Amino acid sequence: MAAFAHSAPCWADVQLSDLEAGKRFYGGLFGWTFRAGDGMPFADALSGGRLVAALAAKKDGRMPTAWGVYFSTGDIRATVASIREHGGQIITDPVRAGRAGIVAEAADPGGAVFGLWQPEERAGFEKQNDPGSFCWTEVYTRQPDRVDPFYEKVFGFRGTDLDEAGHDVSDDTEALVDFRMWSPEGVEPGPDTAVGGRSVITDAFPAEMPSYFLIYFAVADCDAAAELAVQLGGRVAQPPFDIPYGRMAVLHDDQGAAFAVLQPSELLP
């Protein structure tokens, strides 16, 4: 399995109240098959026989029903120390996930939660950027002045700002979008090298709405995926619309977890 560069998004999972219902929804939407987690309350999701994500049963009903993203690190304890040093919080200290690797959970200064993954036997995604697999993530925050330097210092990201007219996913409007793309350390920053991004939650949302990461999955047909999600019991938060990189929609599964689907430009008719 190919290794992931430091700071690259390398895994995604969703916390659900009903694991079996989650399998039916995502199996129907993306064609995923599932592999039991050796008696554990989670299931690996596979697309074409390759790992793409995991579905996990919530241990506590008070936990949010939400997708989460994990960033790769070669030294999870050093990354944890850097998170604390630069204004973040550690939610779960590093713990071993069997022989697969070491995992921790953290929050940035704006409160958005993300995971860290130090790989051992499992590096992360075995498939990405193809239909049915992870292709992008971005954090939505009200505090870009605190969040931007945090990710740049902790992960070494280099930013590319795209202050241009576009579609604001956070409130479904056409407006000037304050958006920053992040590229890993050691490469020329720009759209061709970006691994994630940062957008801003506008005042159109209630003040109590938390910061969050939005996970994107590639699809062959955005409009068809949105229609199918509704047929499977989910709902459409933002109907399909065009962006410079393809056509996307924001959806909720049948238990309320939000995610996005993207039909890349090269797959548009």
Instruction: List Cβ neighbours of 36 (8 Å cut-off, separation of 6 or more).
Output: 43
* The model scores a pTM over 0.85: yes
Q: Is the pLDDT confidence value at 102 over 60?
A: yes
Query: What is the token pair recorded at 22?
Result: 């989650």
Q: What band does 74 get if pLDDT is binned at 50, 70 and 90? A: very high
CATH 3.40.50.1000 for domain 6-117: no
More confident residue, 215 or 37: 215
The mean pLDDT of 162-181, rounded to a whole number, is 62
Q: Is the pLDDT confidence value at 204 over 90?
A: no
Q: Which CATH class is domain 131-262?
A: alpha beta
Domains 6-117 and 131-262 share a fold: yes
What's the pLDDT tens digit per position in 210-263? Answer: 899 999 999 999 999 999 999 999 999 999 999 988 999 999 999 999 999 999
The mean pLDDT of 29-44, rounded to a whole number, is 81
Question: Domain residue spans in the chain?
Answer: 6-117, 131-262
According to DSSP, the residues that pair with 212 across neighbouring strands are 140
Q: What is the pLDDT of residue 165?
A: 44
Q: Can you give the three-state secondary structure of the chain, one letter per residue? A: CCCCCCCCEEEEEEEECCHHHHHHHHHHHHCCEEEEECCEEEEEEEECCEEEEEEEECCCCCCCCCEEEEEECCCHHHHHHHHHHCCCEEEEEEEEECCCEEEEEEECCCCCEEEEEEECCCCCCCCCCCCCCEEEEEEEECCHHHHHHHHHHHCCCEEEECCEEEEECCCCEEEEECCEEEECCCCCCCCCCCCEEEEECCCCCCCCCCCEEEEEEECCCHHHHHHHHHHCCCEEEEEEEEECCEEEEEEECCCCCEEEEEEEHHHCC
In Å, how far are 31, 125, 255 from 10, measured between CA atoms? 21, 6, 24
Q: What band does 207 get if pLDDT is binned at 50, 70 and 90? A: confident
Q: What is the pLDDT of residue 234?
A: 98
What's the pLDDT tens digit per position in 143-157? Answer: 999 999 999 999 999
